[in-house]
Amino acid sequence: MSLILNKNRNSGMASMNEPIGLKLSSQYIIDEEAKRDELHGSTLEDFEVKCTLGVGSFGRVRFVRHTPSGRVYALKMLSKSLVLKKKQLNHVLSEKTILRRISFPFVVNMYSSFKDDKYIYMVLEYSRGGEFFTHLRNATMLNDSAARFYAASVLLALEYLHSRQIVYRDLKPENLLLDSRGYVKICDFGFSKVLEPGNKTWTLCGTPEYLAPEIILSRGHGRPVDWWALGVLIFEMLAGYPPFNDEDRMELYKSIVSAKVSFPKSFSPHAKNIVCRLLEVDVSNRLGNLKNEAGFDWKSLITQTMDAPIRIPHNEEDDTSLFEEYDETLGPDFGAEELNPSHEYLFDGF
């Protein structure tokens, strides 16, 4: 693995903002805008609601078909009362706002949002390949070539988000989906935050094994936390387990802050080098934006004209076999209290 990331020597900070010079195809932009226009003003009655794809703390994601167009989507539906009960309103509103301002091949795009008396809804891109986490666990670990492909895809997604002043803050295999061709897409933007360059935020959020030292130490954090998490992800793809892993939460945090990583013998020198330079405690020395990589075809990656390492069966577009099956009568949102009418104004953003 030989991802090459260069440091901005003039500022002493890892370069986060410089574009890598790759442009989206005009056809991609046209197609995405067409879907948004097509779903503008949609309501639940416009969709044929089918099986559950995933269940969360205050809602679920269902597979749906848009009746007028016949297109398939993933419908994220969140119980209003549970959102308020679990004090997640700000995260939910932030997620919707962020999804409305982004569109990129390696993120799960949102095309519409609406609400009814009980739920708020987000119509999302359907990723037929299922959860990347499941594929990774089935394979145990990836070889250098496959890990490089997916690391490069995630890196482009993070660079895109950062260029729009968005810090993702929850990178992990569970938040990556695969589309019908095996390309990766970042999902779940509940912890994401719009953060202007040079600013910091102090919210403690994310998955413990993927937290950057500055989050644990409450020093304030920004975009570099995503590059740290990329280092953790690369390690986990190549090793089959994260570099920092302890059932004792305090011991886990101590190991993260010390950044002492024990590499398996299978790691190549290049892979070890890139992980070490991403898992750098000093944010001024942590690597950031990708500049170049010899021998890697970035144009084919962004245009998705190269073969992905994980092959997805060529089934129908409405195939959901790569997702876990759920009991449609169970879940935290079933039986949830009705929203107090006096709180309805809190969801005006939908």
Q: Report the catalytic residues.
A: 170
Q: What is the DSSP letter of 221?
A: B
**Hey, which residues does 17 pair with through a beta bridge?**
none
Burial class of 196 by CB neighbour count within 10 A (0 to 12, 13 to 18, 19+): exposed
Q: Which amino acid does the sequence have at 15?
A: S
What CA–CA distances, in Å, run from 78 to 69, 346, 349? 24, 14, 14
Rounded CA-CA distance 310/184 in Å is 10
- State how beta strands 4-5 and 59-66 pair: unpaired
Is 85 one of the annotated binding-site residues?
yes
Q: Angle at the Cα of 90 (from 122 to 58), degrees rounded to 5? A: 55
- State how beta strands 72-79 and 119-124 pair: antiparallel
Q: How many helices (H) and strands (E) does the chain have?
A: 10, 12
Residue list, annotated binding site:
85
Question: What residues form the annotated binding site for ATP?
Answer: 85
